[in-house]
A and B are shown apart, each in its own frame.
Chain A
Amino acid sequence: MSDNKHPTPMLDELENGPWPSFVSGIKRMRDEHPDDRVNSMANDLLGQLEHSYETRKGYWKGGTVSVYGYGGGIIPRFSEVGKQFPESREFHTLRVQPPAGNFYTTDILRQLGESWEKWGSGLVTFHGQTGNIMFIGATTENTQHFFDEINDYGFDLGGAGPCVRTAMSCVGSARCEQSCANEHKIHRTLVNNFTDDVHRPALPYKFKFKVSGCPNDCMNSIERADMAVIGTWRDEIKIDQDEFKAYLDVKGRQHVIDNIITRCPTNCMTLTDDDKLEIEDRNCVKCMHCLNVVPKALSPGDDRGVSILMGGKRTLKIGDLMGTVIVPFMKLETEEDYERIVEIAEETIDFWAENGLEHERCGEMIERIGLVNFLEGIGVDVDPNMVSHPRESSYVRMDGWDEEAEKWFQRKAEEKSAAAAA
């Protein structure tokens, strides 16, 4: 790199300290990478970032950039100070869908890296907040070249704009003993059913799927997903009393009482006088705490499935929302089961596409029209698991009561005969 390096006194300060420094990394690209193009890009990027640090303002603006055939997947970034920092004047990010579960081999990482440093800045993040591999910094022309190259060996763009976005799933069945679902399969079944909606944004706003294998919800799906799919079970927790006793012998009765028994949110556990753990499973809400504390002694039950919650989102425009229960439990084992979950997603997205306002998330729409209207819209029956408690306000017109009560009794009768037949 020639002697036109921008001075970066404030950023230099972030090279001190024990945590790995992204500034040092970008500087290495400026100073040591064999490609001049990469050197100058990094130099101007650092120059603009330093300028931001000095003025406390950002200098990127959006625009429209996409690859041929797609309407989204690229975050356009044009510099407002491109005259001063020309080599990073166009600095778009490509969002690329990672393999489900974020698994990689070193080989494929190297291959992606080689492709990237050929066309882009060489800066990459695994992964962004939504879950995309973020290839940060390419010119408009080079986004097409980079995409063509990685698309040829199996990678595709993620979502950007008012579309179905890249989904996420936890490590789940690949390593975790708490996994109650095939997260990998659910993730790909859902998001790949909507590939058209990922690449051609035509929805009111964004829509995100997230899949967690158990109610620990490591993918933060209740708080971050329009449709959260969370593995769970409905039968008894499996207790290995020998392992439990072994734990108790080390930690003591008091520790077990203080850290396990009394932490149960529904008080469904007891420690017997002969040091056995008893759980009243019908009151267990599958919170995972006890399983987290003694994973050797406790396991989820075997009658596994998923709970589906909908409507999670961040702050714009009505504040943060959590997803709420739409499907308390469904099995996900047979092909019919998987078809059903895709159907639920399709009904939801179709209904929201028709009824959501511009820039309105699914959760905002539900807030606006009311859960009951939403359920009717997607053809799902009401269920007491959808509420923390029934209404507290009498201000509602209920002249359809008898019909609605009849629907409930009808359903229960059908469930009863289906269970008897099984």
Chain B
Amino acid sequence: MAKKEMRQPIESGCPDGFQYMHPLMLKNYGNWKWHDHPRPGVLRHVAHSGDAIWTVKAGTQRILDMFTLRKLCDIGDQYADGHVRFTIRSNIEYMVEDEAKVDPLIAALEGEGFVVGGTANSVAMISHTQGWLHCDIPGTDASGVVKAMMDELIDEFKNCEMPNRVHITTSCCQINCGGQGDIAINVQHTKPPKINHDLVANVCERPSVVARCPVAAIRPAQVNGKPTLEVDEKKCICCGACYPPCPPMQINDPEHSKLAVWVGGNHSNARSKPSFQKLVASGVPNNPPRWPEATAIVKRILKVYKEDAKDWERINDWIDRIGWPRFFELTGLPFTKYHIDNWRGSRKSLNASTHIRF
């Protein structure tokens, strides 16, 4: 029996993007002069040559089925120039040369249920991970949380009324694949893992798991005559890092895996150096299908931010100006012993001054 010839892969790597670029972008590559923002969801970029290109941005469900993808393509062919790109937050952008196409394009997108917006000082599409739909270590869902929250925040996506853009992220475990955000809603486990001692030796490479613990709380053990691992529960910070390399160390708990809310992450260098998000709320129930408690907190924070912050202040800029005590006062969120950091380098976060607002 002849051996089947296996197809060798063509190791082409990252494809060239120029072949798909709008001809006007290609023509003016590296020669753009200025842009403006005529209305929410629309950008106009003008090149040194005088050419102008219009971009219409639209939010989608991010997990695209074939019908939706084809619909987006149909719209691109009928109402735009057939050239698109996707943003880092999975919005779609249509680039068109002719200004007259912009309004009909917007109407076509909105007519099909897509949401035009997400530019400038709006609440951008929430970036998220895979959750129960696809992740192997999720504490909660991702696309469901985002759908539930964007339903409530849709007006802020469609209008540009925030002091500056708001980047919200969600992550379905404490690894935080969703990234840092102005507001982040992440899983926070509150109990140590429940270990299935019968399975550990079969499934887990025990030394790797021991090494994975940030606080060295795991050690080898014998339970019921089986080699396994045990956790020093006084040391355990319930981060879930042991779970990916060892699924029998089940960290996810329907009741005790909660959500935590963080604010003030900012990737940009504008006005201040990039900053990490800070804990503001925890113990939030993980409540599918709509996560109303988490959504309510996010909305409350956004309301306060919108009313109190000055133009161009991102959430971190705003809090730097008004101070954290006022943030907790305005939002009504409780300040607890858990807000004070005791991880490495934490002393830098303490207030070593008399800079106190009264």
Task: Evaluate contact between A151 and B10: CB separation under 8 angstroms.
Answer: yes
> Which chain B residues lie closer than 8 Å to A116 at the CB level?
66
> Which chain A residues lie closer than 8 Å to B138 at the CB level?
58
B271 CB–A CB distance under 8 Å: yes
> Of A19, A176, A198, A258, which is within 8 A of B115 by CB?
A19
B312 CB–A CB distance under 8 Å: yes
Number of interface residues of B (CB under 8 A): 114
Task: Evaluate contact between B241 and A317: CB separation under 8 angstroms.
Answer: yes
**Which interface residue of A259, A316, A317, A357 has the most chain B CB atoms within 10 A?**
A316
B358 CB–A CB distance under 8 Å: no
Which of B31-39, B217-225, B296-304, B331-339 lies at the interface with chain A?
B31-39
Which of B79-87, B96-104, B228-236 lies at the interface with chain A?
B79-87
B354 CB–A CB distance under 8 Å: no
Task: Evaluate contact between A19 and B271: CB separation under 8 angstroms.
Answer: no
Task: Evaluate contact between A223 and B267: CB separation under 8 angstroms.
Answer: yes
CB distance from B183 to the nearest CB of A (A): 15
> Of A20, A187, A188, which is within 8 A of B60 by CB?
A20
> Which chain B residues lie closer than 8 Å to A296 at the CB level?
34, 36
> Which chain A residues lie closer than 8 Å to B92 at the CB level?
126
Report the Cα distance A104→B16, complex, angstroms.
Answer: 10
Task: Evaluate contact between B16 and A93: CB separation under 8 angstroms.
Answer: no
> Which chain A residues lie closer than 8 Å to B137 at the CB level?
58
Report the Cα distance A276→B82, complex, angstroms.
Answer: 43
Select from chain B the residue with minimum beta-carbon distance to A298: B34
A282 CB–B CB distance under 8 Å: no
> Which chain B residues lie closer than 8 Å to A407 at the CB level?
none
> Which chain A residues lie closer than 8 Å to B19 at the CB level?
99
Q: A19-B150, A105-B84, A125-B90 given as contacts; is B68 within 8 A of A25 (CB)?
A: yes
CB distance from B150 to the nearest CB of A (A): 4
Q: Tell me the chain A residues, 158-215 only, with Cβ under 8 Å from chain B.
A: 166-168, 170-171, 173-177, 179, 182, 184, 187-188, 191-192, 195-196, 198-199, 215
> Of A60, A67, A70, A224, which is within 8 A of B135 by CB?
A60
A295 CB–B CB distance under 8 Å: yes
B160 CB–A CB distance under 8 Å: no
Task: Evaluate contact between A286 and B11: CB separation under 8 angstroms.
Answer: no
CB distance from A295 to the nearest CB of B (A): 5
A346 CB–B CB distance under 8 Å: no
A380 CB–B CB distance under 8 Å: no
CB distance from B157 to the nearest CB of A (A): 8
Task: Evaluate contact between A106 and B82: CB separation under 8 angstroms.
Answer: yes
Q: A17-B151, A20-B113 given as contacts; is B66 within 8 A of A316 (CB)?
A: no
Q: A99-B17, A176-B45, A222-B274 given as contacts; is B136 within 8 A of A263 (CB)?
A: no
Q: A52-B141, A220-B179, A286-B269 given as contacts; is B69 within 8 A of A113 (CB)?
A: yes
Report the Cα distance A108→B19, complex, angstroms.
Answer: 10
Report the Cα distance A285→B271, complex, angstroms.
Answer: 10
Select from chain A the residue with minimum beta-carbon distance to B29: A173
CB distance from B288 to the nearest CB of A (A): 4
A33 CB–B CB distance under 8 Å: yes
B174 CB–A CB distance under 8 Å: yes
Report the Cα distance A57→B241, complex, angstroms.
Answer: 17
B211 CB–A CB distance under 8 Å: yes
> Which chain A residues lie closer than 8 Å to B114 at the CB level?
20
**Which interface residue of B87, B132, B148, B272 has the most chain A CB atoms within 10 A?**
B132
Report the Cα distance A188→B284, complex, angstroms.
Answer: 43
B212 CB–A CB distance under 8 Å: yes
Select from chain A the residue with minimum beta-carbon distance to B152: A17
> Of B115, B133, B254, B289, which is within 8 A of A55 by CB?
B254
> Of B132, B274, B344, which is within 8 A of A53 by CB?
B132
Q: A25-B64, A125-B62, A314-B179 given as contacts; is B136 within 8 A of A287 (CB)?
A: no
CB distance from A257 to the nearest CB of B (A): 13
B15 CB–A CB distance under 8 Å: yes
Task: Evaluate contact between B147 and A19: CB separation under 8 angstroms.
Answer: yes
> Which chain B residues lie closer than 8 Å to A3 at the CB level?
none
> Which chain B residues lie closer than 8 Å to A20 at the CB level?
59-61, 68, 113-115
> Which chain B residues lie closer than 8 Å to A19 at the CB level?
59, 61, 115, 147, 150-151, 154
B63 CB–A CB distance under 8 Å: yes
Q: Tell me the chain B residues, 117-134 only, with Cβ under 8 Å from chain A.
A: 127, 129, 131-134
Q: A49-B133, A176-B35, A295-B35 given as contacts; is B312 within 8 A of A263 (CB)?
A: yes
Task: Evaluate contact between A77 and B344: CB separation under 8 angstroms.
Answer: no
Task: Evaluate contact between A18 and B151: CB separation under 8 angstroms.
Answer: yes
Task: Evaluate contact between A223 and B66: CB separation under 8 angstroms.
Answer: no
B70 CB–A CB distance under 8 Å: yes
Can you name 6 A-B pairs with beta carbons within 8 Å?
Answer: A19-B59, A56-B140, A58-B132, A99-B16, A125-B64, A292-B270
Further 5 A-B residue pairs, CB within 8 A, beyond A60-B134, A217-B267: A25-B61, A77-B134, A105-B83, A175-B25, A292-B312
Which 7 A/B pairs are nearest by Cβ-Cβ distance?
Answer: A17-B151, A56-B254, A25-B65, A52-B132, A99-B17, A106-B73, A19-B150
Q: Spell out A's residues near B (CB within 8 Å).
A: 10-11, 13-14, 16-26, 28-29, 32-33, 45, 49, 52-53, 55-62, 67-70, 75, 77, 91, 93, 97-110, 113, 116-117, 122-127, 129, 136, 147-148, 151-152, 154-157, 166-168, 170-171, 173-177, 179, 182, 184, 187-188, 191-192, 195-196, 198-199, 215-220, 222-224, 258-259, 263, 265, 285-289, 292-293, 295-296, 299, 314-320, 322, 357-359
